[in-house]
């Protein structure tokens, strides 16, 4: 009963926020940006791989959210609605990039002094500051490799893994965002994790001992949810 009451309370609170947003409340829009800007940017960055493009696309997402709020009727949660818009805009940005920019620039992310670096932010958040300088470098190297291999996974596995293992969304939320069944969510996760495990296995074998990735059992290290936490490469089958 407690969980049910809590869910009702959350829905009622969201309904009140949506009503304020539709009424044009500046406080409600400030809350919306504060609540979703960082996770939306992180999601888009992992899709488009370029900080400047991710920042521009994030702005586009919130413009569409603001303009489309009058058409939001609560068929899904506010979060899944916003994430659905974000994924759509990220896909549009990627298509535009390949048509107009791919022949001009490297596909590797370009760090900008004016743009937030999600990879560094994640590494900073996940790093134990009692680690040695070598440990800190190892953490960042592992995170970069996991991110790089994740970007190379084919769709729709990559998006499903990002939403579940990096954005920590529930199966039900992912099904709403992607508009697919729960069974499809689970099958994509299983296949995506297996593909990522296969891509990371040679790297773990090559540098695992040096970076402390394989201890004591390589299979155990590779068989856990996706994350570059500490010096563990985590990929659940």
The DSSP result for 42-70, as a single string, is HHHHHHH--HHHHHHHHHHHHHHHHHHGG
Please give the Cα distance from 36 to 100 (Å, whole number): 29
| Shared domain check, 70 and 146 | no
Pick the residue with more confidence: 141 or 5? 141
- pLDDT band for position 36 (cuts 50, 70, 90): very high
Mean pLDDT of 111-130: 42
Per this entry, what is the length of the chain? 237
Instruction: Determine the structural domain holding residue 88 and report its residue range.
Output: 1-116
- pLDDT in the model for residue 215: 42
Domain total for the chain? 2
pLDDT above 90 for 187: yes
Share of the chain above pLDDT 90, in %: 40
Query: Which residues neighbour 169 within 8 Å (Cβ) at sequence distance 6 or greater?
Result: 83, 163, 177
Domain boundary pick from 72, 88, 116: 116
Mean pLDDT, the chain, integer: 75
pLDDT above 80 for 199: yes
Pick the residue with more confidence: 98 or 46? 46
| Shared domain check, 137 and 177 | yes
For residue 94 the two structure tokens come to: 């990627």
- Lowest-pLDDT range, 23-27, 99-103, 121-125, 147-151? 121-125
- pLDDT in the model for residue 210: 66
Mean pLDDT of 43-70: 91
Please give the Cα distance from 219 to 225 (Å, whole number): 13
Contact of 57 with 37, CB cutoff 8 Å:
no
| Shared domain check, 2 and 12 | yes
Domain boundary pick from 116, 136, 162: 116
| Shared domain check, 57 and 32 | yes
Mean pLDDT of 230-237: 42
Query: Which residues neighbour 208 within 8 Å (Cβ) at sequence distance 6 or greater?
Result: 214, 218, 221
* Torsion of the alpha carbons at 63, 66, 68 and 71, rounded to the nearest 10: 170
| Shared domain check, 168 and 83 | no
- pLDDT band for position 76 (cuts 50, 70, 90): confident
């Amino acid at each position: 009963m407690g969980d049910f009451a809590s869910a009702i309370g959350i829905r009622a609170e969201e309904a009140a926020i949506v009503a304020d947003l539709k009424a044009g409340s500046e406080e409600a829009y400030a809350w919306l940006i504060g609540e979703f800007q960082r996770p939306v940017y992180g999601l888009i960055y992992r899709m488009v791989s370029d900080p400047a493009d991710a920042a521009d696309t994030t702005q586009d997402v919130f413009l569409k959210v603001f303009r489309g709020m009058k058409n939001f009727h609560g068929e899904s949660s506010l979060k899944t609605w916003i994430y659905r818009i974000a994924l759509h805009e990220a896909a549009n940005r990627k298509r535009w990039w390949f048509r107009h920019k791919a022949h001009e620039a490297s596909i590797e992310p370009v760090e900008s002094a004016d743009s937030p670096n999600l990879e560094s932010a994640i590494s900073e958040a996940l790093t134990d500051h009692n680690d040695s300088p070598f440990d800190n470098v190892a953490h960042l190297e592992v995170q970069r490799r996991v991110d790089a291999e994740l970007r190379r996974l084919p769709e729709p596995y990559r998006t499903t893994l990002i939403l579940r293992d990096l954005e920590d969304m529930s199966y039900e939320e992912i099904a709403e965002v992607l508009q697919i069944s729960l069974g499809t969510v689970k099958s994509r996760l299983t296949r995506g994790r297996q593909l990522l495990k296969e891509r990371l296995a040679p790297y773990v074998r090559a540098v695992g001992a040096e970076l402390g990735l394989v201890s004591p059992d390589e299979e155990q290290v590779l068989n856990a949810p996706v994350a570059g936490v500490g010096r563990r490469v985590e990929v659940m089958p």
